[in-house]
Chains A and B, each alone.
Chain A
Amino acid sequence: MSVPLVTLLGRVTLAFLEAIGSVTAFALQAVRCALQPPWYRKQIVHQIMEIGYYSLPVVGLTAIFTGMVLALQSYTGFARFSAESAIPNVVVVSLTRELGPVLAALMVAGRVGAAMAAEIGTMRVTEQIDALTTLSTNPFKYLVVPRLIAAVITLPILVLLADIIGVLGGFLVGVYKLDFNDAAYLRNTLDFLQFQDVFSGLVKAAVFGFLIALMGCYHGYTSKGGAQGVGMATTSAVVSASMLILTFNYFLTEAFFAL
């Protein structure tokens, strides 16, 4: 039997609103738990290592090649109207304001968001989360809060390093392939760079970190069924985190433009 289009549209809208409500309630509970003791410091340190330290190679590689490609592409365009000297400026601003935070966050979402959803999802379906509760341990405080805190702390640090590595990539291409003077390239980069460029990127990174951990924890925590449920939770965590990163990136950029 075919379902009328209006009914279908209504169902989809209700499901969408229900999902938003559910995620918002989850986020509010996580924030409420984050503001009250106990804080599991060992868990937070462990998550900082997982999210930050072990993501560094992936983020570093992404950043250096992005910086290198950016320098090459900028040269191709700018050479047409003899504006090659603007390449260092374009590289550093693009990286610090946009590409650094967004690409680092997308890479971390793929690596860490998926791992969070898989780990917490497996704990859910094997009753380990129920076991935490019966041991008088709040699963939100033990599992969700450390991941959120660690991601919010770690993402800005990762992005700062990605900015430096990306600029280094642009510098290497500029100096060794495009025959820039190394001192002039660095001077151009530093003279043009403003505090707000870096700051806006770091604020974005903190927000993206929150979103990645929130999506990873939410989809893992609410996963159902067995292996299939955990698999779906993992996919949903990465997809929803990536979508939210790109959406929030626009609104955050607009907010920073207004300043």
Chain B
Amino acid sequence: MAPSKISLRGVTKAFGPKKVLRGIDLDVTPGESMVVIGGSGTGKSVLLKCILGLMQPDDGSIKVDGVETVDLGDHGRSQVLRKFGMLFQGGALFDSLRVWENVAFGPIQSDGMPTEQAREVAIAKLGNVGLGPEIGELFPSELSGGMQKRVALARAIAREPEIIFFDEPTTGLDPIMADVINDLIVKCVSDLGATAVSITHDMASARKIGHRIGMLYEGRLIWQGPVADIDRSGNAHVDQFIHGRAEGPIQMQVRKL
């Protein structure tokens, strides 16, 4: 078995009395696309942020290429983050910069690439996600939600990362645009040969972009396995979630009217 690209052991995170992650063990092998599903507020985004170092886990180990990343200093963190690309849920495009400047931001600011060369890279990456060079001159606020997601994807792949994270890549998009984004994710990850970790509660997206799926519930990964096995997981929580049933072991915290 290939050594893990990303390896988590016993990762915990709490915010005050609320325990969000309660001991996560997860291995993602090189070139694998792992999808973490789960309801809103189950800690999916916190999990990604802990791996990226945007949040400090309370306990546990997070290794990237076998290197422990918890408690890394600024320089070490910067070196590790060089391997990552991230597509944020809301795009997180810099609204004061033009689209091409957003895509070229990493190559220029972090890799020291000359501006003209970075501009060419940005236009090429925009082409990879189906956007023409004229889009590069616009500001993010002038784009539709789907186009913003594509630009964010172009930015995430601009530095040709070894690992790409996708945070709710299809949230807020219509089903057709969501499928376009799914196709682009599959293509980009495959072209780069990257390892991918996605979090979503969109099962169509999870089935399309993932090789393996894990379900997060009450701070624990309660099931993980190949995408093909999810329909026969034998786990009542997973069954309820993938079929979107209100009745089942997962009880939503809603008050009766």
Interface residues of A (CB under 8 A from B): 40, 119, 122-123, 126-128, 130-131, 133-138, 142
Contact = CB atoms under 8 A, between A and B. Distances in A.
B54 interface: yes
Contacts of A133: 52-54, 81
Contacts of B94: 123, 128, 131
B88 interface: yes
Interface string B87-118: 01110111110000000011001100000000
Contacts of A135: 81, 105-106, 109-110, 155, 159
Contacts of B93: 128, 131
9 contacts: A126-B90, A128-B94, A130-B52, A131-B94, A133-B81, A134-B81, A134-B84, A136-B110, A137-B109
A39 B222 CA distance: 46
B56 to A, nearest CB: 13
A136 B81 contact: yes
Contacts of A137: 105-106, 109-110
A240 to B, nearest CB: 25
A157 B92 CA distance: 36
B20 interface: no
Given A130-B49, A142-B109, A136 B82 contact: yes
Q: Which of B81, B92, B105, B110 has the most CB of A within 10 A?
A: B92
Q: Which of B53, B96, B109 has the most CB of A within 10 A?
A: B109
DSSP majority for the A interface? helix
Given A128-B92, A134-B81, A136-B81, 18 more contacts: A40-B109, A122-B95, A123-B94, A127-B90, A130-B49, A130-B92, A131-B94, A134-B52, A134-B54, A134-B84, A134-B86, A135-B106, A135-B109, A136-B78, A136-B82, A136-B110, A137-B109, A138-B78
Contacts of B109: 40, 135, 137, 142
Contacts of B95: 122, 128
Interface string B49-76: 1001110000000000000000000100
Contacts of A128: 92-95
B85 interface: yes
A130 B86 CA distance: 10
Interface residues of B, number: 25
A134 B90 contact: no
A130 B105 contact: no
Nearest to B86: A134
Contact of B88 (A130, A138, A142): A130
Contacts of B49: 130
A19 to B, nearest CB: 18
Given A133-B54, A138-B74, A127 B110 contact: no
Contacts of A130: 49, 52, 54, 86, 88, 92
Q: Which of A40, A128, A131, A142 has the most CB of B within 10 A?
A: A131
Contacts of B89: 127
Contacts of A123: 94
B88 A127 contact: yes
Contacts of B54: 130, 133-134
A137 to B, nearest CB: 5
A144 B121 CA distance: 28
Contact of B85 (A40, A127, A134, A138): A134
B140 to A, nearest CB: 10
Nearest to B85: A134
